[in-house]
Amino acid sequence: MSVTAPAGFVAAGIHAGVKQAGALDLSLVATADGVPVPAAGVFTSNRMTAAPVTVSRSHLQTSGGRAAAVILNSGNANAATGESGCRDAELMCDLTAAELGCDRHHVLVCSTGLIGIPLPIDRIAAAIPALVAARDVRGAADAAEAIRTTDTHRKETVVRGQGFVVGAMAKGAAMLAPNMATMLAVLTTDAAAEPAVLKRILAEAVAGSFNLLDVDGCQSTNDTVLLLASGRAGGVDSGALAAAVADACRDLAGQMAGDAEGATKVVHLTVTGAHSDEDAARGARQIARSQLTKCSWYGADPYWGRIASDLGSAGIAFDPRLLTITYGEVTVCHGGIAVEHDRDALAEHMAGRHLHITADLGLGAGRASLLTNDLTHAYVDENMGTS
């Protein structure tokens, strides 16, 4: 049930004609009674900001952090569309609000898909009454399906806390880079919390999940993560709520890493022993964005020299004589040079779906981890044209 698992929420997903062949492409998550509830959002830091991001950010500010619904479309990002794009995003909110009987500022809007192409607003506008009419507590799967683009499957999760629930859905399969990803995510909870608390909880959850996902070093124009709280379960411990929201975000981030375009490996990359956490993060990003390293992961080749080179060129404190690199439980480099190791165990680890790689710089207590992937022919095939 994902976003409708918490009490007080309904959802729907229908075909509006943005995509071809009848695919679901218009999604709604709303309060069951159309009444606004506390809400918070985290948005892309890309200055090439899509119209729906601008509109949703403005609506949250105007409403004081309250929302009754989120309307989302896939197949068109409504990005780089100028003033008309903002008008179209506002119209999506206006029409949804009219059907729900709430204020326009209590509707948030998200879009995902192709950039620089005008939104087929006439088709979307015509479909909104049917979308709102279809809302139901059983509509979560359709809502999650309707936001997919190059995702091979919908992404949903439910986290059950002590007396409350967090439900979530997301899309994301490429352009996954800090901060966040080419992603949309809507989280709901029946816990009671004020907007300021939700904003803090969501920002912390995003920092520990979506911001640690780096597939191709490219940042989207549309990244949006939203959290709505119905309050039906009453007040809960804010720490417990924060933990549940963080768990939901980590689950979704892991699903996105596993479904990244063309990926055959999910790489759990950790840099330790850095001079600072910032150095560790910078070094990890350098490795994750190296095409040579990513190709070696695709080939199941534990070529640690590429990782060493990436760290040495990352612009961080580095001494090759202190470097240790480990794949799984197998150390292949110590003191900056190759060491004897169990080649069979290493080959078995490299053949798996999940690779765990640790680089210890031996300089301090700095540490950072992130999720990334290999680089495959399928990624190139997907992205060599407009997609």
Mean pLDDT of the chain: 93
The burial class, CB within 10 Å (0-12 / 13-18 / 19+), for 203 is: middle
Least confident of 227-236, 280-289, 316-325: 280-289
Local confidence band at 77 (pLDDT 50, 70, 90 cut-offs): very high
Asked if omega into 179 is within 30° of 0 (cis), the reply is: yes
Q: How many CB atoms within 10 Å of residue 329?
A: 12
**Taking Cα atoms as reference points, which of 187, 5, 35 lies closest to residue 110?**
187
Angle between helices 304-312 and 277-288 (to 10 degrees): 130
Residue with tokens 């022993």: 273
pLDDT > 80? residue 100: yes
Q: Provide mean pLDDT across the span 84-92.
A: 98
Question: What gap in Å lies between CA 108 and CA 211, rounded to an integer?
Answer: 22
Phi/psi-derived region of residue 80, left when phi > 0, alpha when psi is between -120 and 50, beta in every other case: left
Q: pLDDT band for position 385 (50/70/90)? A: low
Q: For residue range 33-56, list pLDDT tens digits in order.
A: 999 999 999 998 878 899 999 999
Residue owning tokens 């979530």? 168
- Residue of 4, 149, 182, 331 marked active site: 182
Residue 377 CB contacts under 8 Å (≥ 6 apart), including other chains: 262
Q: Is 182 in the active site?
A: yes
Q: In what order do the strands lie in the sheet with 266-274?
A: 337-338, 330-334, 324-327, 354-360, 266-274, 366-373
Alpha helices (H) along 277-334: 277-288, 291-298, 304-312
How many whole angstroms separate alpha carbon 384 and alpha carbon 387? 8
Q: Which tokens is 55 given?
A: 């509109």
Distance CA 60, CA 368 (A): 32
Please name the residues in contact with 82: beta carbons below 8 A apart, sequence gap of 6 or more.
Answer: none
Q: At what angle do helices 277-288 and 291-298 cross, to 10 degrees?
A: 60
Write out the DSSP string of 228-293: EEEEEEEE--HHHHHHHHHHHHHHHHHHHHHTSTT---EEEEEEEEESSHHHHHHHHHHHHT-HHH
The band of 378, judged by pLDDT with boundaries at 50, 70 and 90, is low
Please, which pLDDT band fits residue 152 given cuts at 50, 70 and 90? confident
Give pLDDT, residue 182. Answer: 65
Transcribe 32-63 into DSSP letters.
TTS--EEEEEEE---SS--HHHHHHHHHHHHH
**With 80 as the cut, is the pLDDT of residue 261 above it?**
no
